[in-house]
Amino acid sequence: RGNTHFRNKEWVKAIEEYEEAVKRAPNNAPIRNNLAAALCKIMDFNGAKTQIEKALELDPKYVKAWVRKGDLEVMVKEQHKALDSYKKGLELDPDNAACKEGLKKATYQINMANANLTEDEKKARAERAMSDPQIQAILNDPVINQVLKDFAENPNAAQQAMGDPFVRAKIEKLVAAGVLQTG
């Protein structure tokens, strides 16, 4: 019944039905994913995030939940996190159209944000990203600090370090989050 209410855009009724279904089947990842979708419709992003995380805890291979997580992260302007979610979905299902489209959309938004923001907006975006524990961990990584220093002082060493997929992924995340500017 939750799906019927959802299709009819009766978000509150859909949420009530999905919540009841969760009570009956608390370990059902698809029901939690559907509840997250309905919560997004009423802009309860924190509630949606909780349900998606629980769905993925129950079934880490549930690609639709990875898509929903990426979509939610795009909605709350955490494109750098969305990239990871869509990539995780693609690891599980390399042909998943929703993951491919989400990845393309998040990448486009990152590129547009980097190109079109004023300096003050870029600064605010970087400050917001700096409060993210994942970004803080990257910035506290001594290897990454050395690579960032090398970009200014020793570009050849920086380029060599970028050949390491783990270093590259962390640097790309800093760029995507707006902490590191390129060009």
Tokens 């309860």, located at residue:
44
**What's the angle, vertex CA 93, arms to CA 88 and CA 94, rounded to 5?**
90
The pLDDT of residue 32 is: 98
Of 22 and 112, more confident? 22
The pLDDT of residue 15 is: 97
pLDDT digit string, tens, across residues 44-102: 999 999 999 999 999 999 999 999 999 999 999 888 899 999 999 999 999 999 999 99
Of 181 and 174, more confident? 174
Question: 15-24, 49-58, 159-168 — which is least confidently predicted?
Answer: 159-168
The pLDDT of residue 129 is: 84
- Range list of H helices, 42-177: 45-58, 63-75, 79-92, 97-116, 119-130, 133-139, 142-153, 155-161, 165-177
| Structural domains for the chain | 119-183 (1.10.260.100)
C-alpha 76 chain-centroid distance? 9
Q: What is the pTM of this model?
A: 0.76
Structure tokens at 124: 């605010």
The pLDDT of residue 183 is: 59
Q: C-alpha distances in angstroms, 37 versus 78, 115, 168? A: 17, 31, 33
Q: For residue 32, give the nearest of 72, 5, 59, 12 by alpha carbon.
A: 59
pLDDT digit string, tens, across residues 104-160: 999 888 878 777 778 888 888 888 888 889 899 999 999 998 888 888 888 888 888
For residue 77, is it left (φ>0), alpha (ψ between -120 and 50) or beta?
left
Mean pLDDT value across residues 22-34: 98
